Amino acid sequence: MSFYRELAPSRELHALVACRWTRVVGAESASTTLVLPDGCVDLIWRNGELLLAGPDRSAVSSPIRPGQTILGVRLRPGVAGAVLGMPASELLDGRHPLEDVLGGDAAEASERIGENDEEEVFRHVEHLVSAQVRDRRPDPLVLAATRRLGFPGSRVEWLADALGISERQLRRRFHDAVGYGPKTLDRVLRFRRMVSQLPTIVSGEVDLARTAADFGYADQSHMTRDCARLSGMTPAQLAERWE
């Protein structure tokens, strides 16, 4: 039996970490799992190694091994640049050993984890996140901006004005902190809100045109195009595949 679940992070890291997550892969499971873009970067414990995933601009089919357990800590959008100590854009669409990015700190954390249980893995990874941001805090302007994106009526040009910064400066700071620009993050966050409602969308329980407008899309075709752009599938196809 396979399952995926999300758990709350430690209270001290709530502002930096969106969630802890666990994926248990059944013995008869498929050889890949679909990972959809979400504007986040994940620190992952898998096969006895710490890995870094994302940020992604499109769906990724990630190989999995039947019978394994994968644990992750998901950073909130806008936090990655401070945690990694480098522009998040340099890791766009990538999968890397965390030691290649953070060096000895990640290697030391891996040694501490060893064969510890789930709670210990999360505790060590979160401690690593906390240690990395001790001297370099996330960009507060970018964090404020991320909270206004992905909703109906959000406009990047209005956002820049509201924050007292030029669009060019906003894009640069987003590339450093998030990995890509605010327009891309706006599209990704809106898409994720749509994905959360896929069962009702494809079941016919709701009017698709009205649902698209509620999510901030210009029309149903716009919603379908964005879904295809980010997942490679129509909403109906994605609903069949998405766990």
pLDDT digit string (tens) for 210-228? 888 889 999 999 999 999 9
Same-domain status, 187 and 214: yes
Q: Is the dihedral of CA 212, 189, 54, 23 positive or negative?
A: negative
Neighbouring residues of 81: CB distance < 8 A, sequence distance ≥ 6: 87, 88, 138, 139, 176, 177, 178
User: How much is the pLDDT for 33?
Assistant: 85
Q: Which amino acid is at 132?
A: Q
Record the pTM.
0.92
Same-domain status, 124 and 166: no
Same-domain status, 87 and 145: no
Adjacent-strand bridge partners of 3: 24
Q: How many domains does the chain have?
A: 2
Average pLDDT over residues 116-126: 91
Residue 88: closest CA among 105, 104, 101: 101
Average pLDDT for the chain:
90
User: How much is the pLDDT for 26?
Assistant: 82
Looking at the chain, the number of H-run helices and the number of E-run strands are 12, 8
Q: pLDDT over 90 for what percent of the chain?
A: 62
Torsion angle in degrees (nearest 10) through CA of 182, 183, 185, 187: 160
* Pairing outcome for strands 95-97 and 3-7: unpaired
pLDDT greater at residue 28 or residue 76? 76
Residue 226, SS3?
helix
| Domain end (from 132, 151, 166) | 132
Same-domain status, 10 and 128: yes
d(CA 234, CA 241): 11
The pLDDT tens digits of the residues spanning 165-211 come to 999 999 999 999 999 999 999 999 999 999 988 888 777 777 778 88
DSSP 8-state class, residue 66: T
d(CA 108, CA 131): 12
Domain boundaries, position 91: 3-132
C-beta of residue 236 within 8 angstroms of C-beta of residue 203: no
Average pLDDT over residues 48-76: 92
Same-domain status, 25 and 127: yes
Average pLDDT over residues 13-26: 94
User: How much is the pLDDT for 115?
Assistant: 67
